[in-house]
Structure 1
Amino acid sequence: MHGLLRRLFAPRWQHPDPQVRLKALDQLDPQQPEQQHALKQLAQDSESNIQLAALLALDDLAGLVNTLPEHRQDEAWFNAICQRLCGTQGHTDLQQRQAIVAELTEPRLLNAVALQGDNLNLRLTALEQLTDESDLVHQACHNGVAAVRHQAAQRIESEENLKKLLKEARRDRQVIRQAREKLTQLRNDAEWLAEQQAQREHLLKQLEQHAKAPWEPLYGGRFRHLEREWQRLSHPPSVTQEQRFHQAALSCRKTLHHHETQEQARLQSIAHREEIERTRDQLLEGLEETLEGLSHAEQLTVQDIDSLRAQRQLLSQRWQSLSDQHPPSDSIQHRYSQALKRYEACMEAWQRWQAVSPDMETAIANQDNAAIASYVKQCAWPKHLTPPELLKHAQALKEADVSAKPSSIASLNALSAEVDNFEHLLERGAFKSASRLYQRLRPSIDELKGDEAKPLKGRVKQLAARLAELRDWRGFVAGPKREQLCASIEALADDQHMADAALDSHHRQLVKEWKSLGDAAANREQSTRFRTASDRIHERLAPWREQLNQERDDNLKGREALCEQLETLLDQPAEDADPDVLREIRDKARHQWRHYSPVPRDQSENVGRRFGAIRHRLQALIDQRAEQIASQKRRLIDQAKSLQDDVEQPLDTRIAQTKQLQQQWRTLGRAPKGEEQALWKAFRHTCDQLFAQRVAHKQEQVTRQQQTLDQLQSLIDEMDSWQPTQAKESATLEAYLDSISRLEPLPRNRRSDGMQRRISGIVRAKRERLSQLEIAHTVQQWHTALPLINAHIAADQQVLAGEESREIDAKEVLSEDLPAIFTEAHQQRNHARLTTSIPLSDEKLAELEDGLARLRVHLSLLALGSVKQRDEPLRLAIQVERLNEGINNERNRPDEIISILAALMALGPMPDPLWRKEAEELDHLFSRLARMPHP
């Protein structure tokens, strides 16, 4: 009963029948609080049409939008929301509608608002919420507001949608132009990217092919060229390309390192081989000189044979060890075999002599001439070898026994052979050996009698005269030299102002020259003078040598202390030691090690080995720490890649974390050489890809770029129309360039590229004109200074004629001030005239003529670009000098001409015929350089 009463007396908007509630809803007034409450209750009704009607009656736009997801398929619901958002119905203010639209995500509703909105800002707000480019294409083609169409067209980026926009956009030319420009830009970017990729692929193929090729002389240059071309490309390579490049570059560097190692080993092998050859030649020369000395000695003793045997044994041992390292050449091996044969012949003769010497003494004592002759024949002593004293006496007795007769043919032949050897020694200039041989031959020659011996005696007499002439010549040359050396060393000993180091050096040189004279023109007085002066120098240098030894000891202590410091550092290294700091310690240690020099020779090798071991340990520690840093940087790269792929986190959070990774990267040291650049490129590439996701809209940027290009175009036209007339107007060109630089950076498109090329051409033309104007101005200054040049020439002629030299005053000669560029040259010319010795030597004249010709040829190269055929050698020399000077500093043409004119003014004193010889051609070159360029 209670429920029935409630239904009978309840309001109609609470009736169970939906139709009753809907009719009752039309009677409710939202202005009355009670009825407004009823409408809010009906807005929660289960029936969608009642709920929609209640919200419309309340004019609750926010409620309509919030409940839209539940009634997405209800067209009436959608139309009602669309009409109220667009402003055709309802009383919601514009600001609230804009706020609601800014929160919408429904594309269909946003499209409707963008097309039908009653306000431009409302439409633009709806357009900003659209993300699908197909919706943007529809808005750009069919929206009734131009600003909306332009904004929508600006946001379209894909090539497919741009083509669709270009095809369907018939109402707005600006939209068509934007679409066409974007398509053109995309094509240009695609072409540029394809070109960059093609160039990288081409370079990679060339580099990989180069890495597989064997070494050749141009291998390193080609590798460096390919590496520069790779780095010159602006578009970053892919990870695969970067890996391929570093792998190929590593192979090329391995090839270069392998070749350098082989080349170094080859050079060391050649040097070692040459050292072996020198040692082998010295040993062999020693044996040959000993054998030669035995042939020319006055007598042969047991000591000579023992010394020869010991030298032969030493030679055999050293020869075998050297041959094990490197086999001798055929020529040196032949010399060695010949020397051994002579040695064996000498030893065999000595053994035969030892066997018959006791019997020989008995025969000589008994005056048994027949036995003596038999023993001499049995001994068979070689003719080229000096016999022992007893054998020589026996041979003399034998010859005396036959002296009653004319000299035999065999004896004359033997003496003739000795005389031939005597002549050979004279031809070689071997004075000592020739003198000993003559003293030995003279008794035998004097004993010869008969007509057969006269030619031999006459020949010996002539050779004796040559020997005396050689003795006199050695005395003639060596005598003044000895006197000069004595005077020099005495003057050196009396010089109390010379530094100790220079005194020691001069003293050593004089002693070396004195020893090189040998016994030529030697006398006791000069030897005593030289030795006394040398002893005085030794006494004076004794404190300096002690100080030098003390410095060596101090340097040794410094090196040992340095080694101890480094060993302490290496024994307890810090776990987080920065490899850059360790590298700095290594470099400073090397510098200090070189500073502590010299050290005592007997201890330098030990401390050097100690420092070398320390240096290897320090380098190993550096490599270990650098590898640890490389591992940490690889982990940072992995973290950056994970942030790039993590789409769940907000972009701002990932950017902040990426910046933290960059800060961590900066705090780390450097990885090993060769890996640091690759790791940095990989890390930077990952960060760049993440930062690229923050790129904002480009409309403002495009507008600014267009304005910048227009300003640049006006500047280009103004600069092109400007024609400089004076060299000092270069400031105007710099002002133009400064104005252009303020507009940079320029956008990358065909227009800007064309402008850049035009700017380069205009600037090059203006600079060439300014350079020519500067050259013409310089030559005009030269013409202004011609009276001064003529005054210098006249003063030079007076000096060369023997008159007193005088200094030319530029103020007296010129009516105006001398140009600053010639002031120093004018002073040099006056100084040269005052200091040059007169008359000029042939060497000085040749120097002046060569200097004037070089200046003329250099000026001809700058003025004409060519020289005459006779000046080709000078042209080549000047071009080589210009190339060498251009390596360190680049000189322009006006500076070169100024330097030539200054050098031409400073060259002197100049003979008048020499000047007139070149003056005409110089005037022709000046006239050509002074021509003003056409505007």
Structure 2
Amino acid sequence: MAGFLKQFFKPRQPTSAAAQSEPQASTATPERPAPDPDIVAKATTTGELETLATQGETAAIRREAIGRIQDTEALERISRALKGRDKGAFQAARRKLREQREQAEAEEARQADIERILQDIEELATTQDTKLYQARLDALVSRWGSISGTTESAQTQRYEASLARCRERAQAIADEEAQARAEQEQAQEQQGAVETLAATAEQLASAWPEEGASLSSLDAMIKTQRNRWEQATANRTPDAELKTRFERLMAQLEAYYQALSAWQQHEAQLEQALQEKDTETIEATLAAVNWPEGFPAPPALARARKHRDGQTRSSSEPQQEAPRVDTGELGRTLDALEQSLEQQQLKPSREHFREAQKLQDQLPEKEARQHQARITRLGRQLQELRDWLGFAARPKLESLCEQMEYLADQPMEPEAKAEHIQDLQQQWYDLGGTPDQQLWQRFKDATDRAYEPCHQYFNEKKRLKEANLEKRQYIVGQLQEFVDNLDWAGCDYKAVDRIQRTARREWSDAKPVDYRANRPLQKQFDRLIKALNAGLEAERERNDALKRDVVERAEALIEHDPLREATEGAKALQKEWEAIGITHQQEDRRLWKAFRAACDQIFARLSEQREAREEAFNAAAEEAESLIRQLQDIDPTEVEPAELEAFRKAFRALELPRDRAGALADRFNKAMDGVQQQQMSALRAQRYQQWLAALDQHQSGETPGPESFRHPPMPLEQATQESDTPSQARALCIRVEIVSGAATPPEDQAQRMALQVSRLNEGMKSEQSLESQEDELDSLLATWCELDAADGLTPEHYQRLREALKHWFLRSSGDEASQQT
């Protein structure tokens, strides 16, 4: 420590003669006033703020002025001017510049987004592609709404004008689509009405219903379909062929309805006439009923026709021999009927009875009368069995009615509901039905009501099948055109693969579809997909081989050294892997696992290396923290310069992590500066005490020793330019007050101002460092001690010197404290 202090206090030689000379001043300057705290707020122009930012008296003023400047060029000039002068203000200026650049970039990106939206909406306003038009418009409106900040009036006008045009087009497109849908729905309704009439006519033409046809159901169906046709043709003219078909079917069913209505009125009368063989009544009844051709007639009506035809043939021409029917077959049928009646099997009994009636009708009248009694007897037994089973099954049939009525009121999926309806109908038929028309009508009404939503559902399903069939036809057409024009030599295999995958997905999505109508389309589609896959298969084989080669090269890099080459090679192989085209999915997964495993091993080595380096960085950071703590805990008065230099070397030798190196270096330098500042403060305090002691010795008439000063005294003519001792003492006091910054008595203010002007003219700065002030004060005090204390030196002179030195010492201590802070 003693050696360090000796080195610190050794005499310093002036670097030049100009530095040793100090001209006398004729006047003295007043003490500098404190800066105005509101000076930045009062500045109104960028130029004024720029001046304050570069020439402000305090760092706070400079930073505040920078904070108010918005001009980028001004900030650039300020940052260049402050570089190396004021680190805090320089960083504030650079930070403000960075923020402004980021804001400018963000605003530029925002304007680019606005321009893209405007271009997109202007293009949408004039495009001929109207697919998903409203959705695209909604997306653009959403993008415009998500723009932050305000937009220029010109941009808003462009957007509003294009938006208005787009909305007009969207409305027109929507109207066209609605009209097309309405026309399509009307066409479907027209077709549906005709199909319903055709299905009803086909059902009535297949056979006479066992329980008889329902007049009310037929009437309701005819009225419903007529009303449906009228509504469907109100705004759309039907196809001429479809209209002709509708009118023909409607005429047939209306004729059937009129005949059925007349039949129900004359049924009992005709039965009586047949029993009595009243030909006249039979003829009149047949004429009144006028049953239409093409529809099976009720059994009694058929017998009446047969009776009429027989009478006509017998009266108009000789009797022709009717086709012979095997009477044995009729007998066997009656035997089977008797057996089924004995076993109380209603359904087989009905079938055998109808078959027997049919065979009887084909026999000549004489032979037919021979079996009439037996058929009549078995018919009564069948009726009794029906009545008995009906009575026994009535509770079950009523239960089925209740279940069907309950089912009609339940919200269910149409498919499931239809299955339940079919199950209840099957149970009804298994029970043999009932002759009770009222109970049957109850069950039928409930069935119709329950099936109504199912009917709508299956109609929609049918329309959906037709739409899906059209979609599949379109897919096949597009795919056929693509295959016909495909050039395998220069095609994009990934695009081809995507197309065939998309086609297969869309084909699968287009269901349900009518199976029969779809069969030829399915064959064509399968053939086209097969043709595409044949070309893709060869490309997959080639690409599989390429990926196998990549895997082999990656595995070769696992143990490769140096590691940097291995990692760079792995990254290159990853890019090469991504560039390879389509492969077999299963083989690709297998190869990818092998490739990923090889890359993982390569990068695992890199991770281990990084972890080791990270551990070394962390250890160095801990060592740096330890050095900083030692500096912070050290006693500045006991440390040698060599020890501090050893600290510096040890810190510089550390390899610190990049993210912490700057912060650790700042803390280390701050701690080192703190130690040195404390040493300087201690030495300055010692210097201050030595000066006071020298003044006390000189005032008491003693001569201070050479150790009291580090610098030699100035020549009096150079220091004061005065001739007598009192004037020299006065001038030296003023110079000491100027250097120390202490106040000067009013009577000496003019001389102080003159001395200050003289110092400025000689190039001496108004602001000096503490070291230069200390050197000048030391030389001035040495010169003072050259004066004769008894020749005009007064205690007031010594007191002025002591006050000036005290002011300098206190101010220097405060400056050092602020610098440490």
Shared fold (TM-score, shorter chain, > 0.5): no
TM-score where L is the length of structure 1: 0.27
Q: Which has the larger radius of gyration?
A: 2
User: Which of structures 1 and 2 has the larger relative contact order (alpha carbons within 8 angstroms, sep 6+)?
Assistant: 2
TM-score where L is the length of structure 2: 0.30
